[in-house]
Structure 1
């Protein structure tokens, strides 16, 4: 088995090797994005394999487990469109700038990626044209459908990286210092939930120049936030729907409270 099949299901309106869109005609103000929705390796990339074991392709190194299900359910709850990538982050990472040295990873959390070992500039450019740029073009088109679009990016994180301390957060809100309008009130609201350990720019810093939020929200000045959910908490479809149902009214409440 060359990769773990995580083909997305639902009311997908448009399907390409690069992305899937759900609810394109929904009228809501939100745009839900999932940059790491799939661990698919397209056949045009190294014959559909990267040379690592199926169990490694199922890990967080290849995608964000559970994030696609949360995104699809959240978009439905917010009556807003959703865009999900349909290629593994190990092929090329859509949440990195085009010149980022980690755009195509050769080593990730202790796992060597043989299919990327000899990737050169020409191959990276080919992957950009095949997957990276079509995804971002579709995202940009969706974001421009109305002038007050709010982008919420859904990601997931592993409870513990190899050789590192366990991560205690249930949910993290990532944000750039360039725009905290939505994220800081969202953190404050989530901290009112007694059962949640909430991370502020945890487990990662919330800004990388050229990443998806930078490109589609910070540069054009759109309200935005990035939500990281610990992936053991969204392991099943029921978990994913439950988190979406919990987050949708909180997001709506926080947005309504902004000046």
Structure 2
């Protein structure tokens, strides 16, 4: 929103502020399939759209270890106003599209594109893409397993529920509880080693596309 949160430029350009390449992957998939795309136009340091409105870090004082001075000592009123203006419309729009699809088709896949920094855990984060999902949710797990297969078939090193779990705080996990058994909320986590490489975002999108096309076919 053009507001200075007191964060250095190098931090604003890091994982603490945004997911490099996540939007590019999502746009490619949306353009190819016609699936509705919802995306943030601002840093997670302003408002984290992947956290529920009542999550303590939805307006973070710290993000990936980086201090956000502009969010320190924020009044409850200012915090609530920021959530109402920047967070609530996004969640309402995604909920509306997901619920409409669920109502019309009886089932829905919500694919959420994110990226991760391998440098944060270099010994563990050696894979290219993670697929996050709830292993105890049969409908969702079935989709996730097919997505993992599609990625691996395309030559991408993919892991289930890495570098994060599929049941942590996120918009997908919130909607999973809200919308039930025929909602699948899967998070696609792509490594910066891929998104920062020439053609990396296209490579991931091209691997995911056959999986999505099979769902609508």
Find the aligned partners of 1:53 and 1:122 in 2 and give their Cα distance.
Answer: 26
Q: What is residue 52 of structure 1 aligned with on the other side?
A: 7
Q: Cα distance 1:187–1:68, how it changes in 2: closer, same or farther (>3 A)?
A: same
Match of 1:168 among 104, 123, 126: 126
Q: Per-residue deviation at 1:236?
A: 6.3
Q: Cα distance 1:219–1:184, how it changes in 2: closer, same or farther (>3 A)?
A: farther
Matches within 5 A, 1:53-132: 53-132=8-87
Find the aligned partners of 2:133 and 2:18 in 1 and give their Cα distance.
Answer: 21
Structure number having the greater helix percentage: 2
Map Cα deviations across residues 89-145 of structure 1 (whole Å, 9 max, x no partner): 111211112222222222233321111122243222111101010111111222233
Q: Is the Cα–Cα contact under 8 Å of residues 172 and 227 in structure 1 kept in the other structure?
A: yes
**Structure 1: stretches of 5+ with no match in the other structure:** 1-41
Q: How many residues align?
A: 208
Compute the TM-score of the two structures, normalised by the length of structure 1. 0.72
Q: What is residue 207 of structure 2 aligned with on the other side?
A: 246
Aligned-residue Cα RMSD (Å) equals: 2.4
Compute the TM-score of the two structures, normalised by the length of structure 2. 0.84
Matches within 5 A, 1:149-188: 149-161=108-120, 165=123, 167-179=125-137, 180-188=141-149
Q: What is residue 167 of structure 2 aligned with on the other side?
A: 207
Find the aligned partners of 1:243 and 1:112 in 2 and give their Cα distance.
Answer: 32
Q: Per-residue deviation at 1:164?
A: 6.1
SS in 2 for 1:202: coil
Larger deviation: 238-247 or 151-160? 238-247
